[in-house]
Amino acid sequence: DAEITQSPRHKITETGRQVTLACHQTWNHNNMFWYRQDLGHGLRLIHYSYGVHDTNKGEVSDGYSVSRSNTEDLPLTLESAASSQTSVYFCASSEKGAQPQHFGDGTRLSIL
Amino acid sequence: AQSVTQPDIHITVSEGASLELRCNYSYGATPYLFWYVQSPGQGLQLLLKYFSGDTLVQGIKGFEAEFKRSQSSFNLRKPSVHWSDAAEYFCAVGAGHSGYSTLTFGKGTMLLVSP
């Protein structure tokens, strides 16, 4: 069955370090998304991509970057981790258009 | 820009009772609307979606939702709640053009089910 996989599931790191969260989907979807989930805020869009070499900023993109070199992967990089970036991160993918998004199980990131 | 409001942060329902979770959206054109459910430690699972046509849509796990354009609402309902329905529920509106779309989520409603 097709799926979307995030790794690692849990990570603890220190402020100022670079961190990369992986997202891999086997749906062959063009669209991929990164969200962060915080208590009281729901899910907020960080970055998204509509295809290879395409990336776009979302609502809360400061301090984050993505790159899309193939259809399956959209890694999220925190260039210099800050404590405010402690959160649960979700990756999602969808077909073109206003189609439902399929979500991974999330990465819980703690920045000390 | 689109937005979604879920007025209830928490709702407690007795097992076997009916359920209605409220969702109001703001969007200038015809919206694409979704309800997702999230169990602890897991990602979001799609319950149902509305794109066009019949305003009453059926989803998985016995859930349904009704799109009311005049009220800008898309409330989720279930006639009889089971203990396994305890989870967090998110309403989302999709917006975009030319085949591309992002989702804006509400802040969620936590459903607690009492015995």
Q: pLDDT tens, B38-85?
A: 998 889 999 999 988 888 999 999 999 999 999 999 999 999 999 999
pLDDT at B42: 87
pLDDT at B97: 59
A84 SS3 class: helix
Identify the residue with better confidence: A104 or B2.
Answer: A104
Sign of the four-CA dihedral B97, B100, B106, B109: positive
Cα-Cα end-to-end distance for chain A: 37
Q: How far apart are CA B91 and CA B27, in angstroms?
A: 14
Please give the share of chain B, as a percent, with pLDDT higher than 90: 73
Q: Cα dihedral angle (B67, B70, B75, B77), rounded to 10 degrees? A: -70
Residue B50's alpha-carbon distances to A26, B19, B57, in angstroms, are 25, 19, 7
Residue A69's alpha-carbon distances to A8, A79, B6, in angstroms, are 20, 18, 37
Nearest to A105 among B32, B43, B104 (CB): B43
Looking at chain B, which residue has its C-alpha nearest residue A10? B41
Minimum distance, in Å, between the CA of residue B76 and any CA atom of chain A:
17
Q: Which of residues 73-92 of A touch B (CB under 8 A)?
A: 90, 92
Put simply, whether A62 touches B (Cβ < 8 Å) is: no
Residue B29's alpha-carbon distances to A104, B25, B90, in angstroms, are 30, 11, 21
pLDDT digits (tens, 9 = 90+) for A51-94: 999 999 999 999 999 999 999 999 999 999 999 999 999 999 99
Q: How far apart are CA B32 and CA B74, in angstroms?
A: 10
Q: How far apart are CA B33 and CA B48, in angstroms?
A: 9
Minimum distance, in Å, between the CA of residue B23 and any CA atom of chain A:
14
Tokens 């259809």 found at: A71
B69 SS3 class: helix
The mean of the pLDDT values for chain A is: 94
Put simply, whether A58 touches B (Cβ < 8 Å) is: yes
pLDDT digits (tens, 9 = 90+) for A51-62: 999 999 999 999
